[in-house]
Structure 1
Amino acid sequence: MTGFILAATASFALLGAPAKAVEREPVPVVAVASHAQEFADRLILRGRTEANRKVEVKSEIAGLVASPPLRKGAQVRAGEILCNIEDGGRTAELAEAKARLSEAQQNFEASEQLSKKGFTTETRANAMIAELAQAHARVLRAELNIERLAIAAPFDGILESDTAELGSLLQSGSTCATLIALDPIKLIAYVPERSVDAIEVGARIQARLITGREIEGRISFVSRAADRETRTYLVEAEAPNPDLAIRDGMTAEIGVALKSRMAHLAPQNALTLNDDGALGVRLAVDGVARFAPVTILKDEPRGVWLDGLPETADILVAGQEFVIDGAPLDVEYAEPDRIQ
């Protein structure tokens, strides 16, 4: 009986004793010590070139063209005459207007002398003043019409059409010539609404034309109103074109430099998912594994640019699939260049 009690007591003591905690062995992993770098992404747009200026130079008065035409493709300077219109009696109209002005001036002076002596009414004096003003206006109008006989280029450019033919009749509002300016050349494209806030006026652009030529410039305009049908925003850029070799309407692939930010460049195999399916990487923090969610900014041959990590991070690149948060790690560090 005594032996049975001793055996039972020993069994109870064994069952009631607290279990000793099992320590987890550190998991061997490979990590890279990553430091945040400046990351400048580019937004690629499809667009085309466009003349910086384009205008139909029109006549302001009616008359026959008195000058031989300039041929399309000719380069002209601002102020160069494109079309001369026949006088059509306008010089005579100016001479008549000047004669009437001289007569009105004499009548006004005579009326003024009589008014001082009290021999004319105030109404008559005012009428002379009005007549003199009208004579001045007729002279100015006649002079302006003579100036309008010569139709000049408003800016440096290239004729996109022949000027009006010699002997042809131009009405007020008829086209003398079409003129375009190609330096600087304009590039236009439309950007989706989700990306428009990333583009700033003054941002640098690099464009590749359909011919293979590459040019550089800067953003000059970002629309604040979307196209109602496509929900896209007009973006314009300007690039130097001193030799005028870039034509209006050429297809272009436009790369817009976006605002830079700090990010980490990590190998693609560092990416993993947590139990909730969130994309991220595992870090070695104080000797244990920690999951960190990330956002992929760009995927390129060297690796992936990641946002959401601290300035310095030890990113696991091998063995991260076999650890969970809080697992102790046996970390071996590798050079980033050898991993990527």
Structure 2
Amino acid sequence: MRIVPLITACLVAAVLFGLVIERDRFFALVTDLSPRDDAVAADDPAVTEPFTDDIPAAEAVAEGVVRVMAKRSVAREVDTQVRLRGETQATRFVSVVAEVSGKIVSPPLRKGAFVQEGQDLCTIDPGTRESSLAEAQARLAEAKARRPEIEARIPEAQARLAEAQARLEEARINATAASRLSEDGFASQTRVANTEASVQSAQAAITTADSGVAAAKGGLESLQASIESAEAAVNRAQTEIDRLRITAPFAGVLETDTAELGSLLQPGGLCATVIQLDPIKVVGFVPENEVNRVEVGAIAGARLNQGPDVQARVTFLSRSADPTTRTFRVELTVPNSDLAIRDGQTAEILIQSRGEMAHVLASSSLTLNDEGTLGVRTIDAESAALFMPVTILRDAPEGIYVTGLPDQVDVITVGQEFVTDGVPVAPSFEEVIQ
């Protein structure tokens, strides 16, 4: 093993230690050991004094004190932004399908065409549906025509019931009179028996009349059911005919061709796909640690991968997180009258949030403590080093915006890696030197 490299490494380490840690003593020792010009020493009495006397009082430090560079930082309010990655999405995206079966009898519209709400997209051959409608309408008219006849039967049955009740009352009177005369010997038993038979006959007539009234009312109810059934048949036939015209549910752009002329559509068959791009949505997903910084109505902007930069406001913030990514959906609504923005474009979203007090520091000021926490070394009231954790808001050309520090703090910018908490320091402030 060669010893020369080891000796060289030790010498280099000693020199570096002297230059960095014990800089003042190192330079004093070098000055004391350097040869002096006797003539200059004789002419300049100050040279004959010890070298340490030339050092200003501000630069003289005690044993164990580390010299560092520091910056006196004052917090200022800065606008913060939440930065997301997202994409554009059509406000509406609908696949228009057939509800009845039949052959297409309308010429197709080509994709990319603009359609208005209610415009015909596909027309299906009616077939025998119009005949079915006419038949249902005829049955309805027939059922309604029978109503006066059925309704007239009810008063007739009620009149018969009243007549039967009157005859019963008359028969009871005759029966009572015959019974009294028979007791006095003025009427025969035969007459009494005839009057009692008349009473029973009148009671039977009342029962028959009651059945007639019930039958008349039942006939009216049956007629009403027939009318309702006929009306339902008419509505079904009319609905079938109305569904022959497949129209655009809203104004938009055709994303696909409509069904070709002569093609056969079954219920659920695709007629066309319509999308609405004005306005258009810009959708992003915000992490749960930043969701409280986003509010509905906040000003936001989006930079598209291919397209113009747009400004809008937050119109929707999900209350439920995605179960997989644990992020919350955010939507911006952007006017798109010229349709320059397409569905599915990549977008970078910036959402304005509430202002915060932050410090602007150089990125070289940041360091890690023994636990791996990101922060800066500061100088406390006793001129000792003190680690403080920080949170980075964002990068900027002038530095890094951080929070977590007092409104005014002295931050060590050079030498923070050579001190720990409680180590006394002698700072030289950048503002004074500059």
Equivalent in the alignment of 1:295: 390
Alignment of 1:130-149 (within 5 A): 130-149=225-244
Over 3 Å counting, the alpha-carbon distance change for 1:162 and 1:154 in structure 2 is same
Structure (1/2) with the larger helix percentage: 2
Taking structure 1 as the reference length, what is the TM-score of the superposition? 0.76
Q: Looking at CA atoms only, which structure, 1 or 2, has the larger radius of gyration?
A: 2
Equivalent in the alignment of 1:103: 142
Over 3 Å counting, the alpha-carbon distance change for 1:117 and 1:24 in structure 2 is farther
SS in 2 for 1:245: coil
Structure (1/2) with the larger strand percentage: 1
Q: Give the Å deviation of 1:216.
A: 2.9
1:295-327: CA deviation from partner (whole Å, max 9, x where unpaired): 131343312222112233344546766797485
Taking structure 2 as the reference length, what is the TM-score of the superposition? 0.61
1:94-143: CA deviation from partner (whole Å, max 9, x where unpaired): 23222211211121232112113225513222211111111222222222
Per mean C-alpha deviation after superposition, the further-off stretch among 82-91 and 218-227 is 218-227
The answer to whether structure 1 residue 93 and structure 2 residue 132 are counterparts is yes
Letter matched to residue 55 of structure 1: V
Equivalent in the alignment of 1:11: none
Per mean C-alpha deviation after superposition, the further-off stretch among 287-296 and 238-247 is 287-296
**Number of positions where the alignment pairs a residue of Structure 1 with one of Structure 2:** 312
Q: 1:208·1:252 contact (CA, 8 Å) conserved in 2?
A: yes
C-alpha separation in 2, matches of 1:175 and 1:87: 18
Alignment of 1:47-86 (within 5 A): 47-86=86-125
Equivalent in the alignment of 2:338: 243
C-alpha separation in 1, matches of 2:71 and 2:95: 67
SS in 2 for 1:40: strand
Alignment of 1:122-133 (within 5 A): 122-133=217-228
The answer to whether structure 1 residue 38 and structure 2 residue 135 are counterparts is no
SS in 1 for 2:350: strand
Letter matched to residue 63 of structure 1: G
The equivalent position to 1:208 in structure 2, one of 285, 297, 303, is 303
Over 3 Å counting, the alpha-carbon distance change for 1:143 and 1:165 in structure 2 is same
Equivalent in the alignment of 1:155: 250
Letter matched to residue 276 of structure 2: A
Equivalent in the alignment of 2:348: 253
C-alpha separation in 2, matches of 1:95 and 1:274: 89
Over 3 Å counting, the alpha-carbon distance change for 1:214 and 1:110 in structure 2 is same
Per mean C-alpha deviation after superposition, the further-off stretch among 219-228 and 325-334 is 325-334
1:30-51: CA deviation from partner (whole Å, max 9, x where unpaired): 5334133234033232x33222
Unaligned runs of 5+ in 1: 1-22
SS in 1 for 2:238: helix
Over 3 Å counting, the alpha-carbon distance change for 1:323 and 1:138 in structure 2 is closer
Equivalent in the alignment of 1:15: none
Equivalent in the alignment of 1:116: 155
C-alpha separation in 2, matches of 1:330 and 1:48: 50
Letter matched to residue 208 of structure 1: R
C-alpha separation in 2, matches of 1:116 and 1:250: 77
Over 3 Å counting, the alpha-carbon distance change for 1:245 and 1:24 in structure 2 is same
SS in 2 for 1:166: coil
C-alpha separation in 2, matches of 1:234 and 1:249: 16
Alignment of 1:166-315 (within 5 A): 166-191=261-286, 195=290, 198-211=293-306, 213-219=308-314, 220-222=316-318, 224-228=320-324, 234-271=329-366, 279-283=375-379, 285=381, 288-289=383-384, 291-297=386-392, 298-315=394-411
SS in 1 for 2:360: strand
Q: Give the Å deviation of 1:232.
A: 5.2
Q: 2:84·2:285 contact (CA, 8 Å) conserved in 1?
A: no
Q: 1:61·1:145 contact (CA, 8 Å) conserved in 2?
A: yes
Q: 2:378·2:409 contact (CA, 8 Å) conserved in 1?
A: no
Over 3 Å counting, the alpha-carbon distance change for 1:51 and 1:33 in structure 2 is closer
Q: Give the Å deviation of 1:276.
A: 7.5
